Amino acid sequence: MKILCILSRDISIIWNYNIYTMLLHIIRDMLAKIVEDIDAGNSHIPEFQQHEILDYLTKLHNPEDKLSKYQAIKYLNDNNIKISRATFDNYVKEGKLPKPKHEAGFKENFWNKADFKDFIDKKKNSNELLK
Q: pLDDT tens for residues 36-90?
A: 988 998 888 888 988 888 877 776 766 567 888 999 999 999 988 889 999 999 9
**pLDDT of residue 2 exceeding 60:** no
Torsion of CA 5, 10, 13, 16, to 10 degrees: -90
Closest of 114, 86, 90, 83 to residue 101, by C-alpha = 114
Q: How far is CA 65 from the centre of its chain?
A: 9
Distance CA 131, CA 128 (A): 5
For residues 108 and 68, is the Cβ–Cβ distance under 8 A? Answer: yes
Distance CA 49, CA 47 (A): 5
Torsion of CA 70, 101, 118, 96, to 10 degrees: -80
Q: pLDDT tens for residues 91-121?
A: 999 999 999 988 776 678 889 888 888 888 8
Q: pLDDT tens for residues 7-25?
A: 555 556 566 667 778 888 8
Looking at the whole model, is its pTM more than 0.75? no
- Sort strands 111-112 and 66-67 into parallel, antiparallel or unpaired: antiparallel
